[in-house]
Structure 1
């Protein structure tokens, strides 16, 4: 708002108030007397502008954003730990049960056993919060001796860990809550409740999906992929564990929480390379950019995968000069994504 109030603008305005028959050139007494005051006024305007931006949720950042939204009952999501599946084996490959609370290491990260799933299968929680806990796979090394344990492995990501909510992520969630008032179990209520559960990255609500009083809550995780069974169970328990008003949902509402369906999108194309990068490098970069694009359109107003957009992404990959024969699921057109579904990356085949 005060960007125009620069030092030179203020200085010139002050000099213009001095009669022209008085020397006001740089180095004159008048000039040297006014210049420091103009500098201080410019600094004040900068502070005013910063303070003004700090009191509105669409421009505030960091602690200022937290302070503003707290009065509306909203809180920034903090970093969460990933929940992983582990397999434990004894002599001859037999399943072995390990103690709850036992600790294991993989790739420099430590994991704690928190829940038994089946014989030799357990949930483990990363002791380090954030997305880093989603990345490691393979052998688990026990931090304490466990009798009868021969080998252990870290496998599926059941509930992805996530970083502390950024200003933009938190702002978007807060403004959505403010612009879509929640009341008496409306759609906005169910969206808000589902997003309050750690690990949920998106929600669609389908009212009356199976008759009067029924509500279907379709969720994806923070990776923008279909939610796992443990995450579904957590959301179900939080919103409506038995449909009797024990959770957040109104008494009598029949709530079903489900994972989004997957619409797999396969990409094939022939590319013209500039000779500076290998085909493997180009493919890896394209797959990462394509996956990011799919995550960005998950549960969007128009979640279809655009043929032209995929082509544009391919052209932005370093090493690609051009492409031909681009196909999405075998066709040269958009890929539709229905209600309650998200697009996920399938096989990518690049030649050239």
Structure 2
């Protein structure tokens, strides 16, 4: 139902003794109405997409999955270790770059837990010297280890995947799907893999990755605690992180003149990382041909040669307890 089709249909309903040419009174009267009707039909098509789980987004996806007892995971704050040269009061605030931290707990002499006041993974970003926001003089403070990483709000893709897992993989009586469901319920968990009877009868191993499909060992204790609260009596559960396998790529490329070498490299790294993330816990090899295809379709690349992935030209095997992560990418421009 396009504007042109609607207008044509409306004009056909006007008697032939009336001037219906463009610019005529009846044409100019019907055209705005036809445009509004076309806009309405377009919006109705979008509304249909917002009803079904495979095409809905945002708050409409939230409403869709809520019928099945699911809700979007909210952003969390990072908990960091602060090392100080003296005693600082609980509740004092410190800053580094564009983040601020509040001291929330004493650990030991000269060490404190501090919570980032900004939600999300920005709280995991910086380390180094802190500046006091409470005019504490004579004491230095340094931001060091991540005790519990901050996570961004769950994106539509991860929420949709959790929804599909729930409705397509029935979780009952502590089966494999049940452990997967329990792990994915924890804030910040993006995916997991369950190994039943991994160390004999009554043992279960759960490997987890964060919402960015990366290793985050700080989430292990949280997941273990949650599963311990809901698991069947008698099961011994081990929560661990997969081993990261670095994927490196080098190649000589011919530019088409639309992008600089730096822009091409950044775009290729982004696309390659997205591909690697898509394989986490799903495939057991990284395709050499796929990486070549990604490079060739990167904006600005006309052609490439001498592509090496982890110094070779073969597929990279990924073990069942490994996940691929992006390592160094080296692109060299062909010089005529």
Q: Any conservation in 2 of the 1:160–1:222 contact (CA below 8 Å)? A: no
Partner of 1:342: 323
**What's the CA shift string for 1:80-138, capped at 9, x where partnerless?**
2223343x143xxxxx5655443221102101234556654444321111232232222
Partner of 2:219: 231
Partner of 1:304: 285
Given the two structures, how large is their TM-score scaled by the length of structure 1? 0.78
Uncovered stretches (5+) of structure 1, i.e. residues with no partner: 91-95, 241-246
Q: Any conservation in 2 of the 1:267–1:349 contact (CA below 8 Å)? A: yes
Q: Distance in 1 between matches of 2:259 and 2:25?
A: 64
Q: Distance in 2 between matches of 1:220 and 1:344?
A: 12
Q: Any conservation in 1 of the 2:80–2:146 contact (CA below 8 Å)? A: yes
Q: How far did residue 250 of structure 1 move?
A: 1.8
Q: What is the 5 A alignment of 1:228-307? A: 228=217, 230-240=218-228, 247-271=229-253, 286-299=268-281, 301-307=282-288
Q: Any conservation in 2 of the 1:282–1:319 contact (CA below 8 Å)? A: yes
C-alpha change, 1:306 and 1:100, in structure 2 (3 Å) is farther
Partner of 1:244: none
For 1:113, which of 95, 103, 127 is the aligned residue? Answer: 103
Matched, 1:164 2:160: no
Uncovered stretches (5+) of structure 2, i.e. residues with no partner: none
Q: Any conservation in 1 of the 2:264–2:300 contact (CA below 8 Å)? A: yes
Which SS does the other structure have where 1:226 is aligned? Answer: coil
Q: Any conservation in 2 of the 1:195–1:201 contact (CA below 8 Å)? A: yes
Q: Distance in 1 between matches of 2:263 and 2:4?
A: 51
Q: What is the 5 A alignment of 1:302-341? A: 302-315=283-296, 322-341=303-322
Partner of 2:185: 196
Partner of 2:47: 51
Which SS does the other structure have where 2:230 is aligned? Answer: coil
Q: Any conservation in 2 of the 1:158–1:231 contact (CA below 8 Å)? A: no
Q: Any conservation in 1 of the 2:154–2:188 contact (CA below 8 Å)? A: no
Q: Distance in 1 between matches of 2:189 and 2:164?
A: 18
Q: Distance in 1 between matches of 2:174 and 2:36?
A: 54
Matched, 1:176 2:165: yes
For 1:137, which of 127, 138, 148 is the aligned residue? Answer: 127
Q: How far did residue 270 of structure 1 move?
A: 4.6
Q: Distance in 2 between matches of 1:281 and 1:315?
A: 14
Given the two structures, how large is their TM-score scaled by the length of structure 2? 0.82
Partner of 1:93: none
Matched, 1:78 2:74: yes
Q: Any conservation in 2 of the 1:160–1:223 contact (CA below 8 Å)? A: no
Q: Any conservation in 2 of the 1:110–1:127 contact (CA below 8 Å)? A: yes
Q: Distance in 2 between matches of 1:324 and 1:51?
A: 47
Q: Any conservation in 1 of the 2:154–2:211 contact (CA below 8 Å)? A: no
Q: How far did residue 341 of structure 1 move?
A: 1.4
Q: How far did residue 19 of structure 1 move?
A: 5.3
Number of residue pairs matched? 333
C-alpha change, 1:63 and 1:279, in structure 2 (3 Å) is closer
Q: Distance in 2 between matches of 1:270 and 1:160?
A: 38
Q: Any conservation in 2 of the 1:104–1:143 contact (CA below 8 Å)? A: yes
Q: Distance in 2 between matches of 1:307 and 1:144?
A: 54
Q: Superposition RMSD on alpha carbons, in Å?
A: 3.4
Q: Distance in 1 between matches of 2:300 and 2:35?
A: 50
